[in-house]
Each structure stands twice: as C-alpha cells, then as structure tokens.
Chain A
C-alpha cells in the first residue's frame, strides 16, 4: 500500500521541523510572490560589491530554499544554479589573470604568467604578465555579485512551480505559455522516438554511414513528429483552444501600437536611468509612461483570449508579506539611509578587510524572513509512484 508508506514518510507533527508551520495550513505560495521576492533581492545584490553582504545573501537564499521548497522535480535544481555560479566566479578570475591589466606599485604581487607579445594592431589587450592579489580579488567579488544574482533567479525557479508561473502570464502572452508547456511535454516524446528509430535501424542493417544514415533516422522521426503535432493541433482545436474573444481588427491594431510605444518608453526610461548625463525627463517619467502603455496593451490584448484558470493561486497575506520583505530590502539598499554608501562597495585599494554595514545586513536578513512568512509547502506530490507494469497487477 503506497498510501500508508507515504503517510509514514512524512515527519510526525510533533517533530521540530519547519514543515508544520504552526497553525498555518500547508499550501504553495503564489509563484508571482516568489518571483517578486527573488527579483527584488537580485536588484539589491546589484547595488553591492561587499563580499560579506554577498555571502549573507547566499546564506539567506539557502535558508529560504531549505525551509520552503517542495519535493517536485524542479525544486531539486538549486545545486545546479550553485555550480553555475561557481563557474561564473571561476571564469571571471581566470580571465582577469590571463588578460592582465598590469600592476600598480602598491599592489601585492601574487604570481606571473608568461607574457605573450601581441601584434601592434592588438595592442589594447595584454596576454599574461604579472598578476596582483587586488586584481584577482576584484574579479572574484565582481563574479560573486553576478553569481548571487544568478542564484536569486535560481531560487525563484526552485521555489515557484514554473508551470504555474507561466499561467500567471497575462492573457496576451497566453499563446507563449502554451507553446512552452507543449514543447516541454513533447521533448521527451521526441527523444523516445529518436531512440526507437535508431534501434529499429539495425533491423534493416542499414550499412550506409554519414548523411544517408542520418536521413534514415531523421526522416521517420520528423514524419512522426509532424503527424503527432497535427493530431495535437486537431485535439486542441476541438477542445476549444483559441476561441474568439471580443477582439476586432481595430482593437488588434491598437494593441500593437500601444505595445510598441510602451516598449520604446521602457527602453528610453532605462537608458535615462542608467546614464547620468541624460536629461532628467528621460528617466523615471519615460519609464512610467512606457510601463502604463505596455500594461494597457497587454490588457487590451488579453481580451482576445477568454479563458479561466483552474484552481488559481490565491493572493493573500503571506504573498504580500513575502513580496514586500523582498522589495523592502531592495529599497533599503537603494536609499542610502543610516549607513555609509561606500561600505556597500568597499575599495580594495588599499587592501583591507571589508566591514559589514549594519542597515544593509539587516535588510538582507529581512528578505530571509520569507523563510517563515511563507506557508509551508503542501505534502509531497507523488510524482514517482507505481511504475506502469504494476498497474494491471
């Protein structure tokens, strides 16, 4: 009896584990809340270069993930993001060492790589030469910042069910969501059919190699895939996919115009914000106008698709709490109140141990509150259950 086994596998209620979550009922948090939280934390990370703060962020991410992830397949992926983050740091450090930027007299000399002379027209870049501790440290902290932002995105993917996240997409982007879902479910079938055909090839003892051999695999697989996708399309059509909403030709044109203008506004606004020499008007106002136009476009475009969502995720207090503690920590790192802004980006010239500024550290810890503000995730979904052969037994 698999059911009793599942019950036993769950920790008893009295265990000191976090999963009981007090009096709160287990449920999955709205995916959008996790995404807002993670993106806000990533924004906060982008402000600082301080390795102490960055490690604190990593610790917070680790805490929240262990507290609130589910047993689903996508929730086991965080370690891959960590590997990716390590790779990013390593690449940065190695590049900095190879493409040496020279030494200042005050720098600590670490080691020297053989210098490779470059031709004159390539003079801008040096290969090899002496490598200083300062250069490597600055590369490592830069890399660490990028790695932290990556891990934030990874945390969002781990904590939020990606499929449910797609369903939050506005109606206008619905087709995109469907395409992603279908391709996710079709990919394993394609792999299967390649394996099947490759195996069957031996039956005909196809002796030809190279292009002809490829053809004898690709042709049946593609024909199969094409037929299958036609059947899928027919099935989707007869199940009501793409029923006409209230859109007319005029409203479609209006949607397009709104989206285009909105995107232009967003681009101009981002440019204005990032470039300090740009006129003030190009900054926030353009960004806001662009966002409004885009929202209007999406709203109008969404009318094209009339559909509802099965078991929609509710947006309640916990969602507000998680999202706002992420946003609050980002705001605290941006307002520069109560701490020296220089502490966020400690200088390594001269080399010194970085200090941990109190307010930003508190801000990062505040983001960690999501670990207990979010309700505990539901009981593990039995994804891996009885194999097919046992079924009819």
Chain B
C-alpha cells in the first residue's frame, strides 16, 4: 500500500538528512505504530506519505514514495486526498467549516463526489464514529475527544485507503484518548484501512499495533513486529520495560497478556515488602500555601467549587481530572492572576527556616517500607502570610510561580539569551535575595541550550525548561505547572521529573496538573483528583492512583493487588529475586 524506496529527506539549511535511505513497505490493512523521540523525523516520515513533505514543508526528497500506485513526486497532497487521509495533533487547527456535518462533507466536496453519495457517506460516518447526536453542533463547543473523532471522520468520508495520524491523542485526557483509539482500531478491523500512527504515550496504543516502525534517531528506520522491535528499542512503554526487566518472552504487549505472564513475578514480589515509589521525607515540610474555600466562576458557571488545599514544602503534587474539571482555573486562582470569586489564599512569605535541606534526595536509595500516609491534615501551616491576589504582579510572582499550559505565551524576544536577560531584569526588581540568574537556573534544569537560538526553535521540553527558568528567577517557593507533559516524549518527561525533584529538594512545593497517569505515578508524592470543580480525592499517590481503573498505571494493573506503580520499583527488588526463581 505504501512503499518508501531509498528515501532521503534533507531540509533546507540542515546539514544532516532527517531520513536517510529509508526502505519501507506497509501492507494493506496494517496498523503501523511509528515510534521515536521528539525530533527524529516521525512527522517527516508521516508527511512524506501524502506528499506534504516536501511539497508543503520545503526541503528535498530523494528516492520515491508510492501510495496505492501513485508517486508523491507526481501528485501533490491535494491529488492524493482520495487515497490518504491525514489527522493532526490539534483537531481545531484542521477544521475548515464550523459544524460537524459540514466538516464531514468538506473533503468530499473538494473531490467532487455527487451529493447523493455524499449524503450517504456522511450518515455512515456519523454512525461509525458515534457522532450522530452531534451532527448539528458547532465544532468549537465539542469536547477534545469528540473533536478528534470528527477530524478522523472528516478524512474518512473521502474513503481513503490510508489513514495517517500524527499524535492524535496527545491533547486528550485518558478517557477521550481511549475513545479515539477505539474508533481507530474499529476502522482497521471493520474497514481494512491502513493506519500509520505516531504516538508519544505508547502505553495506550502498543497493544493494537500490527507493526512498529522505529526511528532510532540517526535517520534510519527499523520496522518489524512489535515484540521484536520493542525488545531492543530505545523508547518503550512501561509494560515493555517491565517485560524486559522480568525477561518475559515473547514480550507481552497488552495488560491481559502481561498479567498472565506475571503470575510467578507476583508471587515472588509478594514475599518481599514493596519499596516506596518515591523516597519518603522524614518529616512533612511546612505548609507553604494554604487555600480555603476557593471558588472560581465564569458567567455564573462554577469552575472551581469551594476547594480547600494545603501545599507543603518539598512535596510534588499531581493535579488530575478530566478536561474541564477546573484544574487550570484552580492553579490560576492560586497564583492570583486568574479570577477568584471567593476564598482565601495564604502563602508563607520569606524563606525563614532553612530551605528544606532536610528533604530527602532524589535517588532511588530513599528509605523503604510501607508508604507512610501523610493524611490531608487541616490547617497545619501558619495562618499568617500574604494573599498573592492582593499583591502586585511582581510580588505575587515571587511567592507563587505559574507555567501556563502554552509556555510560549510568555516568550516574545528573539533569542534565549534575551529572554533570560529580560527575566533577570524583571526579577531583580522583585526578588530580594537575588543570587541566581536565569542562565544559571536554565543550565541546571536543562544544560546546553544555545543562547543564540530562537525560543520557537527549541523542542517542547526545552521551551518548558526555559519558561521554568524564567519563572524560577523570581525564586517563588510554590511552583505551579499547568499540563507540562503535553507533547513531551518519554525522555523529556524523565528530564522533567528530575527537574521538579530538584526543586522539591530545595524545599519548594510543586503542583503539576497532568492527564498522564504514568507520569504522575513516577513524579508525584501526592495526587489530587478534581471533578466538576470539586476535589474528589486527595492523598498519597499509591492510594489514589490505584483506586481507579482509569487512573491506574500499567504496572499497577499488571501487578495488582500488589502496591507497585513503576518499573523502577520492581527492578529495585528484582535482581535478587530472579536469581532465586
């Protein structure tokens, strides 16, 4: 169906080709998973399938790409629209019309399909993707999962033989992502569509893949059956890492298979006490931020409803919940820049008693033993402190730092250097202790970012580090991150974890709102779950995360009822056990 023959892609001004001598054949009806780190050429590979590379993006493509007998050299993307359907990361970006039904018909109108056929196909597609109730709705008012299903439907109506999906679930919460992936697998099984799918969060899709195309990063492309590729690939979901650690063969790819393979492992692990996911601090830090009765309402609709929250020093809190449950509103209200209808926020000012040097290190050598429940005790912290809402922006910023969902909103200068200098200017006016410059902080968070680079040219992880450094220049002791994991790959997430671990070790309190369960399991000491503006669960990660099937990480699903959450936990006790087994 898709053939790459000796394909090399070089972008203008780049020294190294993104793809080098790629030979690839994808057969009809396969679901192909494209994996690799950010920036290794996944999007280039996917774009080359329908000719967006190089017709739209520029650059030079050597060799030939053939789709259903047509070469992309002779056919620009629009001439391949009836063969290849492309769905991007953010569905809203690709919408041309404004209601569901018209969007579904758009591609067919371009292909000059007769009105009678169009009508029939729209009805079929509405049913296929479960959109019938939404047919007259405006696109912008749909939820993320519904929007992405409409985006898939809108290319499906043209009856393409190939569907290319470039990270279709990266902007969605777990439930919405499941919804979209279920729709995709249904297409593969029912219609025999060939699907090429790139995805960061492999744990969601790996079980559906017939074949994996791995881009190791040097321009090469390796493809093969999932079990073979994942046995050695540099990037792997937790289930695969667990399988590798336990030396299961063949490598299980679904939770069901893994659970069956894991029976001996479970009995072995039951014999030893489970290590803590994260080192437990000897004593809980002092309360840095105390919020009482926070209510946020937009035009009479409550986004956050009388929420009480205490944030303690040295603690990393994951804020979870589906889209629209009030996570962002709560963070903005805590920082003082967002609207707040009622309630109080008290932030302990000044760094009086020790900057939390006592908080445990970040290595895996932390204290073991059952996770001591910290409870969600009442107002332990001092009632004194200032409300960031009543302070000037600069003062509020020195108390509570917030990295917004789109970090680039804060960047407006031409180079990293200028941004960092500007941050120093902004903060020296506010931070009394001064000391660390933005450059020093950035180098500690993410070493090796070129000062002359344009901020927009950085990778997602680097942009995040830059904005984090800018916000940290003001030395806030409470740091809020609004969905930082969006668009990050495994490597960038690991880096982010070590960044926030370091911040917590300095005695700061960090809140991360995220949809990513695996990330929360590894990064957070405490999880707060929100729904419809209320806090519905608040407690240690182990307790909260395992309680819900949607929020449980893969390792927990495989090893339950044992209290394991991450692969690192298992590997830390495994070597000794395996020798005995």
Contact = CB atoms under 8 A, between A and B. Distances in A.
Contacts of B417: none
Given A223-B408, A381-B136, A392-B323, A237 B52 contact: yes
A181 B335 CA distance: 38
Contact of A243 (B111, B325, B337): B111
Contacts of A316: none
B447 interface: no
Size class of the contact patch on chain A: 35 or more
Helix, strand, loop or mixed for chain A's interface? helix
B409 A392 contact: no
Given A231-B93, A232-B96, A238-B78, A382 B137 contact: yes
A237 B141 CA distance: 25
A288 interface: no
A237 B76 contact: yes
B338 A199 contact: yes
Interface stretch (B1-9, B114-122, B266-274, B311-319): B114-122
Contact of A310 (B88, B108, B323): B108
Contacts of B322: 392
B94 interface: yes
Interface stretch (A138-146, A203-211, A328-336): A203-211
Interface string A225-259: 00010011111111111111000000000000000
Size class of the contact patch on chain B: 35 or more
Contact of B109 (A201, A224, A308, A389): A308
Interface string A165-191: 000000000000010011011001100
B456 interface: yes
B394 A203 contact: no
Interface stretch (A29-37, A81-89, A214-222, A272-280): A214-222
A222 B412 CA distance: 10
A189 B412 contact: no
Contact of B410 (A203, A234, A242): A203
B355 interface: no
B181 to A, nearest CB: 16
B143 interface: yes
A241 B301 CA distance: 40
Contact of B143 (A163, A306, A388): A388
A202 interface: yes
Given A203-B337, A308-B118, A391-B143, A238 B408 contact: no
B115 A385 contact: no
Contacts of A389: 301, 324-325, 532
Contacts of B332: 199
A244 to B, nearest CB: 8
Contacts of A236: 96
B97 interface: yes
A311 B77 contact: no
Contacts of B113: 308
A205 B394 contact: yes
Q: Which of A238, A243, A393 has the largest count of B CB atoms less than 10 A from its CB?
A: A238
Contacts of A242: 78, 110
A388 B81 contact: no
Nearest to B113: A308
Contact of B50 (A178, A224, A238): A238
A387 interface: yes
A181 B96 contact: yes
B97 A207 contact: no
Contacts of B102: 310
Given A181-B97, A205-B394, A240 B107 contact: yes
Q: Which of A181, A184, A196, A392 has the largest count of B CB atoms less than 10 A from its CB?
A: A392
Interface of B: 50, 52, 55-56, 76-82, 84-86, 88, 90, 92-98, 101-102, 105-115, 118-119, 122, 136-138, 140-143, 146, 154-155, 158, 175-176, 301, 322-325, 332, 335, 337-338, 392-394, 396-397, 401-402, 404, 406, 408-412, 423, 426, 429-430, 456, 470-471, 474, 532
Given A234-B56, A385-B141, 11 more contacts: A181-B96, A182-B96, A196-B409, A199-B338, A231-B90, A239-B94, A239-B96, A240-B158, A243-B110, A307-B110, A388-B141
